[in-house]
Amino acid sequence: MTKKKYVKSQLNLNNMGTRSLTRIIPRQEGLAYDKAHEKPELALVNIYQQYDGYPEYMAVEYAKWLEVISIGNGISGNPELNKYANGVGCFAAQFIKHFKDRPGGLYLSPIDDDYGWADYVYTLFPKEGEETYMSVYDVLLDLVIFVGKPDAVLKKYNKKELV
């Protein structure tokens, strides 16, 4: 076991909050999913999560939400909240509304906020008419541990529903 893994295990054993940042960066040509954590200036929002930021919870919750929302351009009829977003800005606003369910826990943070104190950095890559990709950067390991679509997140991290 490497020192970094040992330190991470100790943090989890001590029941400390697993802090994370989530950035929503519209998908764009030339931006590698595994390098986006280094490009906060491209984010529409930078969201700080005080606790439960580990992938087995946070990535799974994000993936469940991402599986049911689509992103388009324009509104017709009466689209349902959390099922349809009118562009990536609407997607980002709905994301915050969905995951901010009480005082505390989730905060908006400056776009250029450094992630040195967070355990994970999640980056969501929405695009009109396509599924949203997600990357997960493990700060302590200094490694991107996941890149993919919501179904792949659930296959990798949703251990509760497999039991």
Q: Which residue has the tokens 């039991």?
A: 163
Residue 115 has what pLDDT?
Answer: 66
Residue 107: strand pairing partners: 48
Residue 114 has what pLDDT?
Answer: 72
48's tokens: 């700080």
Alpha-carbon span 71 to 8, nearest angstrom: 36
Contacts for 139-143 with beta carbons within 8 Å, 24 or more apart?
139/115, 140/4, 140/7, 140/8, 141/4, 141/5, 141/8, 142/4
Residue 2 has what pLDDT?
Answer: 35
**Is-above-0.85 flag for pTM?**
yes
Q: Which residue has the tokens 């497999």?
A: 162
Please give the average pLDDT of every successive group of 10 residues along the chain, which has 163 residues. 37 63 96 94 95 96 97 93 96 97 92 82 97 96 97 92 50
Q: Are 89 and 44 in contact (CB under 8 A)?
A: yes
Residue 122: strand pairing partners: 22, 136
Residues contacting residue 49 through CB under 8 Å, at least 6 positions apart: 19, 20, 21, 22, 58, 105, 106
